[in-house]
């Protein structure tokens, strides 16, 4: 009532609120609608009633379990369904992504509702975040595509005609003069694993590689697409979205863990951590798992006396005044986190704050003998010759035994010499070597703390105190980083941030760092290996992004050597240990280096919206002759990328979808989530009545291409029996069966729970596919996945699921790799670098472009939720955040319209002045400001759907960017080692307009 009274009496507030986007809220306050209840007004009826400790379900609704796609956390949720329509979502109390503590799977469904409503305890509360609570509106969005579409007119005009899905498959398989623009190769002619792309460069591989598939974050179906389609087709080119999201962090952690194959995530063990250092990340503001991380942080700072520091260019929701000095924000110059961390490392090494005994452990054998939790390669000997490899004896690592100073195999040494630089003798031969630790020390001592402090603009005393404090809590300390490292030196930054943990030995330690709790076997499990099939080929050749391959193994390099030419520079950059770079796909095809693509399939991908410096991406997609002659988008919406497609295949949305997946990180117990359609898709159907989605489309496309991985007898069980793969459920229900049968078999579901969990409609399919185990699979589905008990997380002071390889203080793969543009080796340990182009040359700021722009994640919007009109009622737009002192210098006031420009691009924004941002910087909240998916007029079959202006509001940050002058055309700046898209620390100027 107070709010109502206030608004009634304040015209000013009303206009302000209206201007800020609260129009609908205001309208509702003044309607004469009858309220059905005086307290809860017209809110939804309750789904359950609890009387005398008994649960009664409201018959008007059904409730089912699924996964949220509101961000890449993919939380397990329960959905309230009214007549095949999802009307509300809330957390699944069995899942650790939605509750902590979470319920034991044996707790009955009825009891789960009792516990959720327990007024005496918040323990079993299970919720969604703001976007998770509203994301279901996406399913009913007027811009959703439900039919197969073919473009009319030029690419990007957003004019389409509907065609049957069979017609679409026929056209893309056979090709032809599809748009009266000339002949286009169909997928049938590209599906060739025998013919080479280029006889002169056989290492490029077969013609099949000229199909590239761009996916998105794995929401549970990636294995289906990669293993059963891409690999069966024979293309090596499947890419996810990491390179435009958080690859610098992933690659830095991979270097630290010495594993560039699985790219494991590291996260703090929030629950038992005593001191946490967040650099280039902000838990509760963003990150993954967003909701769980925020919950764990709040719990730890409130109940466990966790002290934490956030070192970021701007103040975010991660900071909390409520816990006083337990939470602290330190402003840092954008892009200079590496200087700050190198300074901390220097202080730690110089003052011997590090855990020497831990760093001296040279092998897993010694670690076990000493009853420790992890070990490093700090004592390994690196040969100082040009190859920079470890000193080995027939593959065994050699170290200096601290007992007798003799060089021995690491497995036979308990404690090795840590800091050594000089000559050693082994088997009568002399070697010049230095230990990994000595290289780290040498690198961190290249600058004084004063110099580092000047670069990052954090006082020397603060750095010293933080370094000291970090090393003063034993091993219950952690570091974290994420998207703020997406700048040109982000890889070394993330590696260095993790390196702080090695100084105290926090990996695998309770309260330290965790690689996650593991997952149950799903696609390859006890009953089926669904990733394998008869006739599976192993794709080979060079990837379009030149990732996972050293330039030195290419024909180009070998030919130059053969012809006595200097092999450096290569025509462009190669990325020997990066897993995938979608920011390289179109530019590489346009430059025909290594080769030109013939077809592009995107699945939910949106590189135009997500990639910094996107002007070139648009130009290359727009013209079919440039980079992608045939472009098929599998997408339920026409986004900023699929708007340039030739064909649209409608995908399922959210709760209509299948999938199996596990959390990324920040969990310490074994966990696997699953999703199955809980409402019927409105999409057109195939002739077998299966609704069109990515999975069903791929099945029919593969059959048209006669690929061995789909159709008759495509699935084999582990006893040698064959089954057909004609529908998505043929694949996913078998994956569910694997999960249900992993380790101990799950319980059988009762008839009552089958009804409560809305699984009756699956009874026949479950019986047919899972046979006598069907009730176990239904039990699994009713809980939303499989979740080990919370008390399985630890074994004494160690995490139960431990990482067993050596932490790389020196990474041999990195240290032996060469920058293909310069011929120089990368440094194998962490070292300070200024912002750099791909050839390692410095990106200089000048008097004109003297501010640094960065983006930061929103706690409301994500790429997936930025079109939700309902969220715009909470936050109408995004702004250019500027420190008040800086704004004064430029005579800029709050809400002034400004132009932000790099030397290559510009954007328009409204200024928002605040104190909580580093001076001389511009911070922009991502994501908002859509340019498709309802933000542009859409014409299908001559019917116009008018754009919604509200979807355009905010700052289109990724329009900004810098070209990389050291590379071929169309290349924006990226991390100078691993190639991840750089969006932070862009040198800009601002003008009031
Ligand atoms: S954190 Fe992400 S996945 Fe979880 S509820 Fe929120 S939007 Fe959905």
Shortest-distance atom of ligand 1 to CA 864:
7
Together in a domain, 136 and 153: no
Between the CA of 219 and the centroid of ligand 1 the distance, in Å, is 12
Between the CA of 98 and the centroid of ligand 1 the distance, in Å, is 9
**Which residue minimizes the CA distance to atom 2 of ligand 1?**
71
Q: Which pLDDT score is estimated for 119?
A: 80
Residue carrying the six token digits 């399985």: 792
pLDDT at 24 over 60: no
Which residues touch 331 (CB under 8 Å, ≥6 apart)?
Answer: 312, 313, 314, 315, 457, 458, 917, 918
List the beta strands (DSSP E) in 427-474.
Answer: 429-435
Q: 155 and 957 in contact (C-beta within 8 Å)?
A: no
Phi, psi of 411 (to 5 degrees): -65, -20
pLDDT at 5 over 50: no
pLDDT at 123 over 90: no
- Nearest by Cα to 732 from 221, 353, 343: 221
Taking only the tens place, the pLDDT of each residue in 437-453 is 999 999 999 999 999 99
Q: Please name every residue paired with 898 in a beta bridge, in sequence order, or none if there are none.
A: 909, 992
Tokens of 466: 């933080």
pLDDT at 165 over 50: yes
Together in a domain, 308 and 171: no
User: What is the percentage of the chain residues whose pLDDT exceeds 70?
Assistant: 97
DSSP 836: B
Taking only the tens place, the pLDDT of each residue in 227-241 is 999 999 999 999 998
Shortest-distance atom of ligand 1 to CA 862:
7
Ramachandran region, residue 877 (left: φ > 0; alpha: ψ -120 to 50; beta: rest): beta
Between the CA of 76 and the centroid of ligand 1 the distance, in Å, is 9
**Which of 65, 66, 67, 68 is the best mutation target for the ligand 1 pocket, counting ligand atoms within 8 Å of the beta carbon and taking the most?**
68
Task: Give per-residue burial for 111-136: e unless 16+ CB within 10 Å, then b.
Answer: ebbbbbeeeeeeebbbbbbbbbbbbb
The reply to whether ligand 1 has any atom less than 6 angstroms from the CB of 863 is no
DSSP 396: E
Q: 905 and 961 in contact (C-beta within 8 Å)?
A: yes
Shortest-distance atom of ligand 1 to CA 291:
1
Q: 593 and 571 in contact (C-beta within 8 Å)?
A: yes
Between the CA of 143 and the centroid of ligand 1 the distance, in Å, is 22
Q: Tell me the residue length of the chain.
A: 993
The reply to whether ligand 1 has any atom less than 6 angstroms from the CB of 291 is yes
Query: Rounded CA gap, 821 and 576, in Å?
Result: 13
The reply to whether ligand 1 has any atom less than 6 angstroms from the CB of 131 is yes
Together in a domain, 153 and 123: no
Pairing verdict, β 659-661 and 671-675: antiparallel
Query: Rounded CA gap, 975 and 982, in Å?
Result: 6
- Nearest by Cα to 601 from 226, 867, 162, 971: 226
Between the CA of 75 and the centroid of ligand 1 the distance, in Å, is 5
Domains in the chain: how many in total?
A: 3
CATH value at residue 77: 2.20.25.90
Together in a domain, 355 and 462: yes
Q: Which pLDDT score is estimated for 19?
A: 43
**Which of 125, 139, 290 is the best mutation target for the ligand 1 pocket, counting ligand atoms within 8 Å of the beta carbon and taking the most?**
290
Between the CA of 731 and the centroid of ligand 1 the distance, in Å, is 26
- pLDDT average, residue stretch 521-529: 97
Between the CA of 271 and the centroid of ligand 1 the distance, in Å, is 21
Between the CA of 217 and the centroid of ligand 1 the distance, in Å, is 14
Q: Judge if pTM exceeds 0.85.
A: yes
Between the CA of 135 and the centroid of ligand 1 the distance, in Å, is 9
Residue 7 lies in a domain: yes
* Chosen domain end from 631, 655, 679: 655
The reply to whether ligand 1 has any atom less than 6 angstroms from the CB of 74 is yes
Tokens of 893: 């006031």
Taking only the tens place, the pLDDT of each residue in 474-513 is 999 999 999 999 999 999 999 999 999 999 999 999 999 9
The reply to whether ligand 1 has any atom less than 6 angstroms from the CB of 75 is yes
- pLDDT average, residue stretch 763-783: 98
Between the CA of 121 and the centroid of ligand 1 the distance, in Å, is 23
**Which of 97, 125, 131, 219 is the best mutation target for the ligand 1 pocket, counting ligand atoms within 8 Å of the beta carbon and taking the most?**
131
Phi, psi of 15 (to 5 degrees): -65, -35
Residue 759 lies in a domain: no
Together in a domain, 332 and 464: yes
- Cα Rg, the chain, nearest whole Å: 28
Query: Rounded CA gap, 340 and 470, in Å?
Result: 14
Pairing verdict, β 938-940 and 943-945: antiparallel
Together in a domain, 475 and 356: yes
Burial level of 425, CB count in 10 A (0-12/13-18/19+)? exposed
Q: What is the largest CA-CA distance in the chain?
A: 96
The reply to whether ligand 1 has any atom less than 6 angstroms from the CB of 71 is yes
Residue 719 lies in a domain: no
Together in a domain, 278 and 320: yes
Q: Which pLDDT score is estimated for 465?
A: 98
CA 172 vs CA 186, 187, 590, 695, 754: distances in Å: 5, 6, 21, 17, 42
Q: Which pLDDT score is estimated for 9?
A: 38
The reply to whether ligand 1 has any atom less than 6 angstroms from the CB of 295 is no
Residue 597 lies in a domain: yes
More confident residue, 25 or 739: 739
DSSP 877: -
Query: Rounded CA gap, 175 and 197, in Å?
Result: 19
Q: How many CB atoms lie within 10 A of CB 326?
A: 17
pLDDT at 17 over 80: no
Q: Which pLDDT score is estimated for 32?
A: 56
* Chosen domain end from 122, 140, 158: 140
Query: Rounded CA gap, 335 and 493, in Å?
Result: 9
Taking only the tens place, the pLDDT of each residue in 28-39 is 555 556 677 777
Shortest-distance atom of ligand 1 to CA 71:
2
Taking only the tens place, the pLDDT of each residue in 928-974 is 899 999 999 999 999 999 999 999 999 999 999 999 999 999 999 99
**Which residue minimizes the CA distance to atom 5 of ligand 1?**
132
Taking only the tens place, the pLDDT of each residue in 381-439 is 999 987 899 999 999 999 999 999 999 999 999 999 999 999 999 999 999 999 999 99
Together in a domain, 156 and 135: no
Taking only the tens place, the pLDDT of each residue in 884-928 is 999 999 999 999 999 999 999 999 999 999 999 999 999 999 888
Q: 570 and 557 in contact (C-beta within 8 Å)?
A: yes
Tokens of 562: 């053969």
List the beta strands (DSSP E) in 721-821.
Answer: 722-725, 785-787, 794-795, 798-799
The reply to whether ligand 1 has any atom less than 6 angstroms from the CB of 132 is yes
**Which residue minimizes the CA distance to atom 4 of ligand 1?**
75
Phi, psi of 339 (to 5 degrees): -65, -40
With helix as H, strand as E and coil as C, how does 500-554 read? Answer: HHHHHCCECECCCEECCCCCCCCCECCCEECCCCCCCCCCCCCCCCCECCCHHHC
Query: Rounded CA gap, 842 and 851, in Å?
Result: 16
**Which of 69, 72, 75, 857 is the best mutation target for the ligand 1 pocket, counting ligand atoms within 8 Å of the beta carbon and taking the most?**
75
pLDDT at 21 over 50: no
Together in a domain, 426 and 497: yes
Tokens of 916: 């909580």
- Give start and end residues of each alpha helix (H) in 227-304: 231-233, 247-257, 290-303
The reply to whether ligand 1 has any atom less than 6 angstroms from the CB of 67 is no
The reply to whether ligand 1 has any atom less than 6 angstroms from the CB of 275 is no
Residue 80 lies in a domain: yes
Together in a domain, 97 and 224: no
pLDDT at 672 over 80: yes
Shortest-distance atom of ligand 1 to CA 865:
7
* Chosen domain end from 748, 783, 814: 814
CA 923 vs CA 150, 880, 926: distances in Å: 39, 6, 10
Query: Rounded CA gap, 88 and 62, in Å?
Result: 11
pLDDT at 145 over 50: yes
Q: How many CB atoms lie within 10 A of CB 783?
A: 27
Shortest-distance atom of ligand 1 to CA 70:
7
Q: 103 and 93 in contact (C-beta within 8 Å)?
A: yes
**Residue 480 belongs to domain spanning:** 266-514+810-814
Query: Rounded CA gap, 484 and 9, in Å?
Result: 44
Pairing verdict, β 938-940 and 159-162: parallel
Together in a domain, 275 and 420: yes
Which residues touch 756 (CB under 8 Å, ≥6 apart)?
Answer: 57, 63, 109, 110, 782
Give, to the nearest 10 degrees, the angle between helix 728-741 and helix 763-770. 70
The reply to whether ligand 1 has any atom less than 6 angstroms from the CB of 70 is yes
Query: Rounded CA gap, 405 and 399, in Å?
Result: 9
Shortest-distance atom of ligand 1 to CA 89:
5
| Least confident span in 4-18, 171-185, 263-277, 320-334 | 4-18
| Distance in angstroms between the alpha carbons of the first and the last residue of the chain | 42
Between the CA of 296 and the centroid of ligand 1 the distance, in Å, is 15
CA 465 vs CA 343, 469, 475: distances in Å: 12, 6, 17
DSSP 228: I
Q: Which pLDDT score is estimated for 34?
A: 67
pLDDT class of 12 with cuts at 50, 70, 90: very low
Between the CA of 290 and the centroid of ligand 1 the distance, in Å, is 7
Tokens of 674: 């699953």
Between the CA of 89 and the centroid of ligand 1 the distance, in Å, is 11
- Sign, CA torsion 665/669/670/671: negative
Residue 760 lies in a domain: no
Question: Would you give the distance in Å from CA 853 to the centre of its chain?
Answer: 22
Q: 269 and 511 in contact (C-beta within 8 Å)?
A: yes
Ramachandran region, residue 666 (left: φ > 0; alpha: ψ -120 to 50; beta: rest): left
CATH value at residue 445: 3.40.228.10
DSSP 184: B
Q: Which pLDDT score is estimated for 840?
A: 96
Name the average pLDDT for the chain: 94
**Which of 65, 69, 73, 286 is the best mutation target for the ligand 1 pocket, counting ligand atoms within 8 Å of the beta carbon and taking the most?**
73
Between the CA of 769 and the centroid of ligand 1 the distance, in Å, is 31
CATH value at residue 218: 3.40.50.740
Shortest-distance atom of ligand 1 to CA 129:
6
- Nearest by Cα to 948 from 864, 867, 861: 867
Together in a domain, 488 and 559: no
Between the CA of 47 and the centroid of ligand 1 the distance, in Å, is 21
Query: Rounded CA gap, 666 and 515, in Å?
Result: 8
Query: Rounded CA gap, 118 and 369, in Å?
Result: 48
Q: 860 and 130 in contact (C-beta within 8 Å)?
A: yes
Residue 324 lies in a domain: yes
Residue 47 lies in a domain: yes
**Which of 71, 245, 667, 673 is the best mutation target for the ligand 1 pocket, counting ligand atoms within 8 Å of the beta carbon and taking the most?**
71
Tokens of 266: 């590291």
Between the CA of 351 and the centroid of ligand 1 the distance, in Å, is 43
Between the CA of 903 and the centroid of ligand 1 the distance, in Å, is 37
SS3 at position 336: coil
pLDDT class of 696 with cuts at 50, 70, 90: very high
Task: Give per-residue burial for 952-961: e unless 16+ CB within 10 Å, then b.
Answer: bbbbbbbbbb
Residue carrying the six token digits 């699994």: 780
């Amino acid at each position: 009532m107070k709010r109502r009274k206030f608004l009634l009496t304040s015209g000013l507030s009303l206009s302000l609120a209206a201007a800020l986007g609260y129009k609908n809220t205001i309208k509702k306050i003044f309607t004469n609608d009858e309220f059905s209840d005086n307290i809860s007004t017209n809110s939804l009826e309750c789904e359950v009633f609890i009387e005398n400790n008994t649960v009664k379900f409201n018959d008007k609704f059904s409730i089912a379990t699924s996964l949220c796609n509101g961000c890449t956390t993919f939380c397990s949720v329960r959905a309230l369904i009214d007549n095949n329509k999802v009307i509300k979502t809330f957390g699944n109390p069995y899942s650790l992504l939605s509750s902590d503590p979470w319920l034991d799977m044996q707790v009955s469904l009825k009891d789960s509702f009792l516990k959720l409503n327990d007024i005496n305890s918040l323990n079993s509360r299970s919720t969604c975040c703001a976007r998770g609570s509203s994301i279901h509106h996406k399913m009913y969005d007027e811009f959703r595509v439900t039919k197969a579409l073919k473009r009319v007119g030029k690419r990007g005009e957003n004019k389409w005609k509907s065609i049957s899905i069979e017609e679409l498959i026929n056209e893309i398989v056979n090709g032809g003069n599809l748009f009266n623009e000339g002949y286009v190769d169909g997928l049938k002619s590209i599906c060739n694993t025998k013919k080479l792309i280029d006889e002169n460069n056989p290492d490029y591989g077969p013609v099949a590689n000229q199909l590239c598939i761009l996916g998105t974050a794995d929401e549970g179906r990636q294995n289906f697409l990669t293993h059963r389609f891409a690999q069966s087709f024979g293309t090596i080119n499947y890419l996810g979205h990491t390179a435009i999201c958080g690859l610098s962090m992933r690659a830095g952690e991979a270097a630290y863990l010495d594993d560039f194959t699985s790219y494991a995530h590291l996260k703090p063990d929030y629950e038992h951590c005593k001191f946490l250092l967040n650099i280039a990340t902000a838990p509760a503001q963003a990150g993954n798992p967003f909701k769980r991380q925020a919950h764990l942080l709040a719990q730890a700072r409130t109940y466990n006396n966790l002290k934490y520091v956030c070192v970021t260019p701007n103040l975010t929701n991660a900071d909390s005044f409520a816990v006083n000095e337990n939470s602290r924000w330190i402003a840092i110059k954008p892009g200079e986190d590496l200087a700050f961390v190198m300074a901390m490392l220097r202080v730690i090494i110089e003052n011997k704050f590090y855990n020497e005994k831990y760093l001296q452990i040279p092998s897993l054998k010694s670690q076990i003998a000493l009853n420790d939790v992890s070990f490093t390669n700090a004592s390994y000997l690196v040969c100082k010759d040009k190859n920079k490899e470890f000193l080995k004896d027939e593959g065994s690592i050699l170290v200096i035994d601290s007992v007798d100073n003799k060089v021995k195999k690491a497995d036979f040494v308990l404690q090795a010499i840590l800091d050594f630089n000089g000559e050693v003798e082994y088997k009568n031969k002399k070697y010049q070597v230095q230990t990994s630790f000595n290289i780290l020390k040498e690198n961190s001592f290249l600058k004084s703390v004063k110099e580092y402090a000047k670069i990052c603009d954090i006082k020397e005393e603060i750095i010293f105190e933080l370094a000291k404090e970090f090393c003063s809590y034993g091993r219950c300390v952690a570091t974290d980083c994420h998207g703020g490292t997406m700048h040109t030196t982000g890889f070394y930054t993330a590696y260095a941030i993790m390196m702080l943990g090695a100084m105290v030995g926090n990996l695998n330690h309770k309260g330290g760092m965790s690689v996650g709790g593991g997952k149950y076997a799903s696609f390859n499990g006890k009953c089926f290996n669904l990733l394998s099939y008869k006739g599976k080929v192993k794709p080979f050749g060079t990837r379009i992004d030149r990732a996972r391959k050293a330039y030195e193994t290419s024909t180009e390099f070998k030919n130059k050597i053969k012809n006595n030419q200097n092999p450096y520079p290569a025509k462009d950059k190669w990325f020997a240990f990066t897993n995938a770079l979608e920011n390289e796909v179109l530019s590489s095809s346009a430059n025909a280096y290594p080769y030109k693509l013939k077809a592009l399939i995107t699945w939910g991908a949106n590189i135009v919206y997500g990639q910094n410096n996107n002007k070139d991406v648009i130009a290359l997609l727009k013209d079919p002759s440039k980079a992608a002659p045939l472009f098929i988008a599998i997408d339920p919406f026409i986004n900023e990328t699929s708007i340039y497609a030739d064909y649209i295949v409608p995908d399922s949305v959210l709760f209509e979808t299948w999938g199996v997946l596990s959390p990324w990180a920040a969990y310490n117990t074994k966990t696997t989530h699953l999703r199955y359609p809980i409402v019927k898709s409105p999409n057109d159907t195939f002739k077998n009545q299966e609704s069109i989605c990515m999975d069903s489309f791929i099945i029919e496309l593969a059959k048209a291409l006669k690929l061995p991985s789909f159709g008759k007898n495509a699935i084999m069980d582990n006893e040698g029996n064959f089954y057909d793969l004609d529908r998505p459920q043929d694949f996913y229900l078998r994956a569910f069966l694997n999960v249900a049968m992993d380790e101990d078999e799950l319980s059988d579901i009762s008839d009552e729970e089958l009804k409560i969990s809305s699984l009756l409609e699956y009874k026949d399919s479950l019986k047919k596919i899972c046979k006598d185990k069907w009730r176990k699979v239904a039990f699994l589905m009713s809980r939303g996945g499989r979740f080990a008990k919370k008390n399985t997380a630890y074994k004494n002071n160690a995490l139960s699921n431990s990482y067993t390889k050596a932490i790389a203080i020196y990474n041999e793969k990195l240290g032996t790799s060469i920058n293909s543009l310069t011929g120089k080796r990368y440094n194998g340990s962490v070292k300070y670098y200024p912002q750099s182009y791909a050839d390692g040359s410095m990106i200089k700021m000048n008097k004109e472009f003297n501010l640094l722009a960065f983006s930061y994640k929103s706690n409301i919007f994500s790429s997936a939720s930025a079109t939700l009109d309902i969220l715009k009622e909470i936050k109408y737009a995004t702004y250019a955040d500027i420190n008040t002192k800086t704004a004064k210098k430029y005579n800029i006031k709050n809400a002034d319209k400004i132009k932000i420009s790099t030397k290559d691009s510009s954007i328009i924004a409204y200024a928002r002045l605040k104190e909580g941002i580093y001076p001389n910087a511009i911070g922009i909240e991502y994501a908002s400001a859509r340019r498709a998916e309802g933000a542009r007029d859409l014409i299908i079959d001559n019917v116009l759907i008018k754009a919604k202006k509200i979807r355009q509001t905010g700052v289109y940050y990724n329009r900004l960017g810098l070209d990389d002058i050291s590379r071929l055309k169309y290349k924006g700046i990226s991390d100078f080692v691993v190639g991840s898209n750089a969006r932070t620390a862009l040198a800009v100027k601002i003008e009031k307009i």
